[in-house]
């Protein structure tokens, strides 16, 4: 299937490892030129080399999406290096705040929104004018099943729910301009250096086995590759009637029917 994105320019935040890396690889395999950002130069360099091996142009930019002063320079670096952005994948996210509402500080709560929502929102505002002018664009926001239903900690759950809401609203605004905006809600996907890999390495085997038995109907943690393929499809010409959706990719883990 020809996805029709050869030569398009894509930016994936948090694209040097994990789910972001897999999304970047999938897009590069379809012929898109890819920019990634991250906070570690060695990891960026390694992933950029992988992307270039697919015969496309690729660059890595040091940037912390949770720091809004990094957003404008990141956008400019991609435009200068590859051209205007046709495909934006807001993947960077996470939370260092683990407490519930009785203990979490307001600063920690706000910091979780900075990395999961506000940085990506600012990038959306920067790329939209170009997408509108050419009447084509794709924005894909990586949320979580814990943005759709109860789970995780209150900071992360709240921020991901807000990201899904912002995605839906933006899609309603931009559909007439040929700009498709969607979110993806992954479940427990294990990858190198990720939360679920650490969980499996640090917890006793019986704890891991119980988690799998009680939460993962397929009997295993997910792999990153299907998410990368989904990103590539949503970025493509083939997805021209999909906008405002939150697509779950979790092996049946979540309980919500909506």
The catalytic site residues sit at 156
C-alpha–C-alpha distance, residues 203 and 130, integer Å: 47
Cα distance between residue 248 and residue 258, in whole Å: 10
Q: How far is CA 79 from the centre of its chain?
A: 20
Calpha distance 188→186 (Å, rounded): 7
Number of other CB atoms surrounding residue 106 within 10 Å: 7
Q: Using alpha carbons, list the distances in angstroms from residue 102 to 152, 154, 185.
A: 15, 10, 27
Going by C-alpha positions, the residue among 92, 112, 111 that lies closest to residue 36 is 92
3-state secondary structure 91-144: CCCCCCCCCCCCCCCHHHHHHHHHHHHHHHHHHHHHHHHHHHHHCCEEEEEECC
């Amino acid at each position: 299937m020809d996805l029709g994105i050869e030569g398009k320019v894509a930016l994936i935040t948090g694209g040097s490892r994990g789910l972001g890396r897999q999304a970047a690889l999938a897009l590069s395999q379809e012929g898109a030129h890819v920019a990634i950002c991250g906070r570690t130069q060695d990891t960026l360099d390694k992933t950029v080399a992988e992307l270039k091996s697919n015969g496309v142009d690729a660059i890595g930019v040091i940037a912390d999406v949770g720091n809004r002063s990094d957003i404008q320079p990141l956008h400019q670096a991609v435009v200068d290096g590859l051209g205007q952005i046709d495909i934006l994948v807001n993947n960077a996210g996470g939370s260092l705040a683990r407490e519930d509402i009785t203990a979490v500080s307001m600063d920690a709560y706000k910091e979780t929104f900075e990395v999961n929502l506000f940085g990506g929102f600012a990038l959306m505002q920067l790329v939209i004018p170009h997408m509108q002018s050419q009447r084509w664009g794709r924005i894909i926001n990586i949320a979580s099943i814990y943005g759709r239903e109860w789970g995780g900690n209150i900071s992360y759950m709240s921020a991901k729910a807000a990201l899904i809401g912002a995605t839906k609203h933006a899609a309603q605004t931009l559909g007439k301009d040929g700009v498709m905006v969607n979110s993806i809600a992954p479940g427990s996907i294990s990858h190198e250096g990720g939360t679920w890999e650490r969980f499996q390495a640090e917890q006793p085997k019986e704890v891991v086995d119980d988690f799998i038995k009680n939460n993962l109907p397929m009997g295993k943690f997910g792999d990153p590759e299907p998410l990368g393929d989904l990103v590539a499809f949503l970025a493509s010409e083939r997805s021209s009637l999909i906008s405002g959706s939150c697509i779950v990719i979790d092996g049946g883990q979540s309980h919500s029917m909506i």
